[in-house]
Chain A
Amino acid sequence: EVQLLESGGGLVQPGGSLRLSCAAFGFAFRSNAMSWVRQAPGKGLEWVSGISDSGGSTFYIDSVKGRFTISRDNFKSTLYLQMDSLRAEDTAVYYCARSWGALDVWGQGTTVTVSS
């Protein structure tokens, strides 16, 4: 079964760090670009970051540039999002998704809460 499983969310103080992970199952992870999408409480979807299949190209929305780092380990079939200097406005459910275009497979999401 094609599946994505996120982990690593939690409660963190402003200025703190978290690393999200997304384990992929049932498809050729190394052949697919991947994305992170977030959804603040009661709000819409926001694409955050994308990475090419090799990991050689990465892209971010302006509000997270310099604070978030997307990466992948194709041997472990795992996607990561390192989040530093977290702000209250980063509070959201974070989803990983397959592809960088039309996102055809989604994880269940992991919740990140930034609060003192």
Chain B
Amino acid sequence: DIQMTQSPSTLSASVGDRVTITCRASQSISNWLAWYQQKPGKAPKLLIYKASSLESGVPSRFSGSGSGTQFTLTISSLQPDDFATYYCQQYNTYSRTFGQGTEVEIK
């Protein structure tokens, strides 16, 4: 199975900060990568698909990049609504796998 490793596990930031989360795959997944946001007690929400495509309705301050084994999610200017946990997920192989998550907390 492909392992997905996110860094950091926790990130402390302030409103207005530029935030970057990294996701590394244990083998190449081309650009078959998605990013999700999850708030406590809620279902995850799709933000980015195919590594860099913004899901409809998601604010443009969210962006994704990368291919192969290295990917990033960037929030250009952190807003109060963005404090949450973020997950990457690969869908290159039949068995999909998620990263362990990155919690973005208020500094």
Chain A positions within 8 Å of B, measured between CB atoms, are 35, 37, 44-47, 50, 59, 61-62, 95, 100-104, 106-109
B residues touching A (Cβ–Cβ < 8 Å)?
Answer: 1, 32, 34, 36, 38, 43-46, 49-50, 55, 87, 89, 91, 94-101
B46 close to A104 (CB less than 8 A): yes
Does B96 lie within 8 Å of A47, measured CB to CB?
yes
- Chain B, interface SS category: loop
Q: Is the CB of A103 within 8 A of B46?
A: yes
A45-B101, A47-B89, A47-B96 known, 7 other contacts, Cβ within 8 Å: A35-B96, A44-B101, A61-B95, A100-B91, A102-B34, A102-B49, A103-B44
A-B contact pairs, 6 of them (CB 8 A): A37-B44, A95-B44, A101-B49, A102-B50, A102-B55, A107-B43
- Interface centre among A100, A103, A106, by most B CB within 10 Å? A103
Contacts of A104 in B (CB 8 A): 46, 49, 55
Residues of B within 8 A of A46 (CB): 98
Supposing A44-B101, A59-B95, A102-B49 touch, asked if A109 and B43 sit within 8 A by C-beta, the answer is yes
| B87 adjacent to A44 (CB under 8 Å) | yes
Q: Could you tell me if B44 and A45 are in contact, using CB atoms closer than 8 angstroms?
A: yes
Query: What CA separation (Å) do A50 and B96 show in the bound complex?
Result: 9
Q: Which residues of B contact A50 (CB under 8 A)?
A: 94, 96
Instruction: For residue B99, give the distance in angstroms from its CB to the closest CB of chain A.
Output: 8
Q: Which residue of A50, A95, A102, A107 has the most chain B CB atoms within 10 A of its CB atom?
A: A102
In the complex, A42 Cα to B89 Cα: how many Å? Answer: 18
